[in-house]
Structure formats: structure tokens, C-alpha cells
Amino acid sequence: MHSQQEFIFDHLPVAALQLDMQGCIKAANSAARVLLGQRQQTLVGTHLVELFNDKEGKIKTLLQRMARCCVQETGTCPPFVALESQKLSAESWQEMSSTSETSLILELQLPILTQVEVVFRCVPQMGWLLVLHERTREQETLALMQRYFQIIEQTDDLIMITDCVGKIDYVNPAFERCTGLSTKEILGQTPGMLKSGKHDSRFYMRLWRTLQQGQPFRDVFINRRKDGSLYYEEKTITPLRDASGRVTHYISTGKDISKHVETQERLAYVANHDILTGLPNRTALKERLDRRIQRAQLEDKQLALLLIDLDRFKQVNDSFGHRSGDQLLQEVARRIAELGGPQQLIARQSADEFIVLLENIRTPRAAAYIAHKLIHELERPFDLEGGHAYLSASIGITLYPTDGNSASQLLHNADIAMQRAKESGGETYRFFTDDMTTQAAQRLQMESQLRQALLHKEFFLEYQPRIDLKQGKLVAVEALLRWKRADGSRVSPAEFIPLLEEMGLITSVGEWVLHTACREARYWQEIGLPKIRVAVNLSARQFHQANLYDVVQKCLFHSGLPASCLELEITEGLMIDNVQESIALLQRLNHMGVHLSIDDFGTGYSSLAYLKRFPVHTLKVDRSFVNDVTTDPHDAAIVQTVIHLAHNLNLTVTAEGIETQAQLDFVRHHGCNEGQGYFLARPMPSENLIAWYQAQSEITEETSQEPTQASAELSPPPSS
């Protein structure tokens, strides 16, 4: 270095070090020696790594890169990290231009005692110069504040600063983006401008009480954006104090957790609601019901729980398809909700069961009134994509606290009451009573006994004759299912046959009845009795099973009974459920040679348009009409109409339940073909039937070529 350069170098107004290409100090000017507190002799030869305790060797790497840049007249230096104290901080390259040439300047934040900033400069003929700038504490503070401000401006957290009286002094850009409010709209206002009304006064009292105690307040705030929408902010509000301890500002930092809350709410909704109808599901029902019960207990009020079971929903679902079935359930839910009102708890408990909780019920009559209206409302036609559908409902009613003091008890007892309503024929409601619990226990016991009855062959058939009313001859016997327990006691068919239906055992028992009736009818023929046609009353499950035709064919084959000697009885309601399939099945059975009849005619969903399309041979007038035929003009008119209708359709008509001479005379006078009842003959076992038949003088001769008939049905005998 020339003497002029040395003079300039030594008298620079800033501290400077001259370095060689290896990063060793060649010279230190006066300002540098003062700043570093060391003499020239001590500094010369010292490597920067030693001066700044660069244990990681990054200064050496830096110098190597700078040396390469110095060799090139132009070029771009690769980015690197600079030193701060004994560790590296962010680096920056800046390209500077002069009148003669372009040099590269590197600025590093390299504090020594946190008060030194260094600049590397590559100077022609002088090599590397390291310029040291002493920084004041105010500069350090200002730089630190600028750094913090940049962080606040760039963070995604929502930041608000208010003065001690709550006026907003500052909000960051993230806050503006979230709320949709600009700084101009916010500054000078209070945070109350964001209130949504979702927090009560106790929430804000707790907030200020916490802040006044000098503690941060943390909670989730539900606030309102400029556009009116709500957002959820997980926020901490902290009081800021000056040197004297006086609160000067409050700073609020928070995160917008709206998406997280919406996701959680959606998951909670899905977990607690039926997606199809939007009603609370079984999971949510019990929890909400328990809460309502607790409230009723505190307020000394009565509740009524209604369990609504849709009658015949499965048939409608099968006939119209699942899409229409879903549409039907949605409409059912809508009607129930409209009738129950927004204040009542309404839920979907299962596929075809709904719950309505009526609060503050003063008398059971009020619950009965609502149940009656619900039944009436659900009987109105449902307009579906596949046409009109018709439903009815069975409703069980329990009262709190009379019938239970917990959700589980009320639901259980409502189910028992609902079953009682279904056993009464449906389309009605029943209240839970104490004896229903006992009956439910007996029902469970009977279910177990029925399964044992199947294993131990405790079922048997009895036969009741059917008489030709014109000739007075036997034309049929009706076989009735009976159950005698191992201890010799007998159970009424009215008790166990509906239970067989519910348990799903009716199909296997019905097949046993069909096989037994065919086998015994064949036996009667073999011992010399005239041909007897056996009619088996098919249950709903039997009639709708896919292999019914094959089952009938198998029973005829194994028993050896001709198809012309078998009669199948079907109630009109079964055929109306699915008309086209019913007609197709009945036609196949008719072509096989099986005799077909409609049982309990007049009590179901009669349709004369369909009746003429069904390949049936006999109509059986239900005993409920025959019972009062001599005292009730309406029943008398119905019986006369059915007889006339049957004759016009070339069908045989049979009157069931004849128990008096007057009833017999009436139906005979009006042209009824056949009669059956206790007045004519009681049910009897097979061996007694044979003896009875042989003892009748009027049937000692062979009958005509047209075979007579016998019927076997899964129904209780007529009452005496």
C-alpha cells in the first residue's frame, strides 16, 4: 500500500481492517484499533476466524467465495449466511456501481458486544477491506423494533392493540383480511364493533375481571365480519404496562379457527344426526332426553314420550324402491316435525321408528290428542316418484315421571306400549301400564318356549268341518294350529301365532302345517274317506317368500296328495301389497291345479278392480260380520253384498263363525254356499274327525266327482 493510501486508510472516519486473500489482517487503521482496543502489532496477522471466534469455519468459506467473485469482473455470487455474534444470521448481497468499476459489497450483521456492523469491500490495489461501524443503543433498539414490526405485519395471527380505554390503535394486515375491515374503518373504534351477540354479559364480565387482575384472558371469541358472517378466533388479550406499572395498552393476539370449528361442528352433526331426515339420531336422542328429564325434574313438570312405528313401511319400500322409500321417510319426518313444533324434541330412532318428546304435558289426554293427530296426519297419501303411498302408525306413549325417570326406562316402556298398539291392529296408540312390563317378561318366556316347541314337536293340528248349507253335507274341514306344552297345558293361538310372526318362525311353522295337512288329507283318502281338499292359510312371510311355489310343489310330491286337493287361503291385504307379483304367483299356483280362496274378505284393502283379476275360487266372509248379522243392519247388508258379489264373479262364498241357528238361517236364506262355526261342528283332532265323518248318516255315500275341501289355517279358532 502506498504512503498516500496508507494515510487515507489510517485516517478513515470509520474503523477499517485491510485483509489479505486468506482473510488475515494486514493492517488496522486508527479508528479500528480504538474500537477493538488492540494495538497494530497484535492485530496484524490475526485471521478473522480468530477475531470473531468462527468455530464453524464459515468465514473461510465466505472469503473463498468472495475471492472467486473478485477474480471475475462480473458475475453473481452464490448466496450465503453471515455472522452475528458467534452464529450466522441472514446475508445480503448488494451490487454497487462507481465511476471506474463495479465492486461487490457485502453487508453483514456482525455485532461485537452487539455494537459493530461490518462491511466487506474489494478495493483495487488494496485488496479486501473490512469496515466496522459502531452502532448506538438507540439504533439497536430501532432496528429491533423494525424487525418485530415486520414480523407482526407478516404473521398470519390476528393482532390488535388498543389503548387503556379500549380505543383501537393498531391492527395488522391479517386482522384486516379476516374481518374485511380496513385500517381506516377500524382505528379509533372499540372491539365492540365486532360483537356477534353470541356471548352473554357474563362472558365479558369474566374478561374484564381477569384483565383488571393483571392476568391475560384466553378464550374463543365468536365475532362478526364486515359482511355479517361469523368467525371463530382463539384469542389471548394481555395488558401492557409502563415502567411505573400502569396499564397503557392491551394487545390481542389470536388465530382464525373458523374452518377448524366448522369441521368439528360438521363431524359432530354427522355423529348426532340422521343424514336422511336431518333429525337427531339414536346417539343424540338419549343425551338430549336425559337433559330434558333433568330440567323437568327441577321444574316439577310432566313429559310424554311418543314412539312412532310406521306400519307397512317395508312393503311400501319394497314396492316403490329405496329411493322412494327415502323420500317417504323425509316426508314423514317433515310432517311429524310440523305437528310437534320447533320446541319439541323429535328424533329418528331406527329405520321406521321416530320419537317425539312432549314437554309440560298437564294430562295424559294431551299426549293422546297429539298421538291421534299424528296417526291422522300419517294416514294422508304420500306423493312419491312412483305414485301415491299409504302408511299408518302405531304409537306407544310413556309419561315422566309415572312410567320412568330415565331416558332408557321411558324408551323401553314406550316400545312395550307401541307393541301393544301393533297387536291391536295398528293405526292406534297405547299408553304404558304396569301390567305391560309383566306381559313383556311373559312374552320373552314364551319366545323361549316356542323355540323349544319346535324342537320337541309340541305343535299339532285340529280340524273343524265346513258344511254345504244347501245339501247339509260336509264339504271341507279347516285345520287349526294348536300348541300343547310338555306339561300338558295348552296355549291360545291368539297368543303364540303373532309371536311366531315377529320372531320370524312363521315360515318354518307354516311349511310344517302345509306338509302335515297334505299328509293327513292323503291318509284320509287312503282309509276310504272321500277326497278332501285341504286349504292352508298362508302367512304374510310365506306368501312373499321367493320359493313358495317350489315349497308347495315339494309338499304335494312328498305327501302324494293331488294338487286339486290343496287349497291355499290368502288375505286380500297380502295380494294388494304387490298386485302384479301376486297375480303372477297365483296364476302359477292355479295352473298347477291348486284351489285358491280369499280369507277374511271385507276386513282388508278390498279392491274390486283387482278382485276380478285374481284367479281365486272362493270368498270367505269374516266372522266379525256374521256375528251381528241378525242384529246389525250394516253387517247384514255387508254379508248380503259379499254373497251377491261372489255369485256374480262365479265364486263360492263361505260364512265363517256361525254360532247360532239365527245366523245359519240368515246366511242360508241369502244364498251363502258354505258355512263353518261352533254351531255346526267344533275343531277336533284327525282321529276324531274320521270317527265324526263316519258317524254322519248324510255323508255315508260317495260324494260327486267334484272333490270336497278341507282348510288349514294359522289363525285362532272362533270364540264360543
SS3 247: strand
Last residue of a domain, one of 135, 156, 187: 135
123 and 145 share one domain: no
pLDDT in tens, 549-608: 999 999 999 999 999 889 998 887 777 777 888 889 999 999 999 999 988 786 655 556
490, with CB counted inside 10 A (0-12, 13-18, 19+), is exposed
158 and 131 share one domain: no
Cβ neighbours for 685, distance < 8 A, ≥ 6 positions apart? 460, 461, 462, 463
117 and 182 share one domain: no
* Residue 642 located in a structural domain: yes
* Residue 161 located in a structural domain: yes
* Residue 494 located in a structural domain: yes
Whole-model pTM above 0.75?
A: no
609, with CB counted inside 10 A (0-12, 13-18, 19+), is exposed
* Half-sphere exposure in the Cβ direction for 215 (13 Å, CA): 9
Distance between CA 614 and CA 617 in Å, rounded?
9
Looking at residue 261, what is its pLDDT? 87
Distance between CA 409 and CA 290 in Å, rounded?
11
Last residue of a domain, one of 431, 447, 477: 431
* Residue 718 located in a structural domain: no
418 and 549 share one domain: no
474 and 415 share one domain: no
* Residue 93 located in a structural domain: no
Distance between CA 439 and CA 448 in Å, rounded?
14
* Residue 83 located in a structural domain: no
516 and 595 share one domain: yes
Residue 305 domain boundaries: 272-431
The pLDDT mean for the chain works out to: 81
Residue 668 sits in a domain of what CATH number?
A: 3.20.20.450
Looking at residue 176, what is its pLDDT? 94
108 and 229 share one domain: no
Residue 337 sits in a domain of what CATH number?
A: 3.30.70.270
Looking at residues 310-330, what average pLDDT do you find? 85
Residue 234 contacts residue 257 (beta carbons within 8 Å): yes
pLDDT in tens, 490-508: 999 988 998 888 788 899 9
SS3 390: coil
144 and 119 share one domain: no
Q: Within its chain, how far is the Cα of 257 from the centroid?
A: 26
Looking at residue 133, what is its pLDDT? 65
524 and 638 share one domain: yes
606 and 556 share one domain: yes
Looking at residue 77, what is its pLDDT? 33
Spatial CA neighbour of 369 closest among 456, 429, 442, 449: 429
* Residue 710 located in a structural domain: no
205 and 172 share one domain: yes
Looking at residues 43-61, what average pLDDT do you find? 71
Q: For residue 650, is it left (φ>0), alpha (ψ between -120 and 50) or beta?
A: left
Strands 303-311 and 345-350: unpaired
Q: How many domains does the chain contain in total?
A: 4
* Residue 436 located in a structural domain: no
Identify the weakest region by mean pLDDT among 27-36, 83-92, 138-147: 83-92
Residue 184 sits in a domain of what CATH number?
A: 3.30.450.20
Looking at residue 97, what is its pLDDT? 27
384 and 528 share one domain: no
Looking at residues 443-468, what average pLDDT do you find? 88
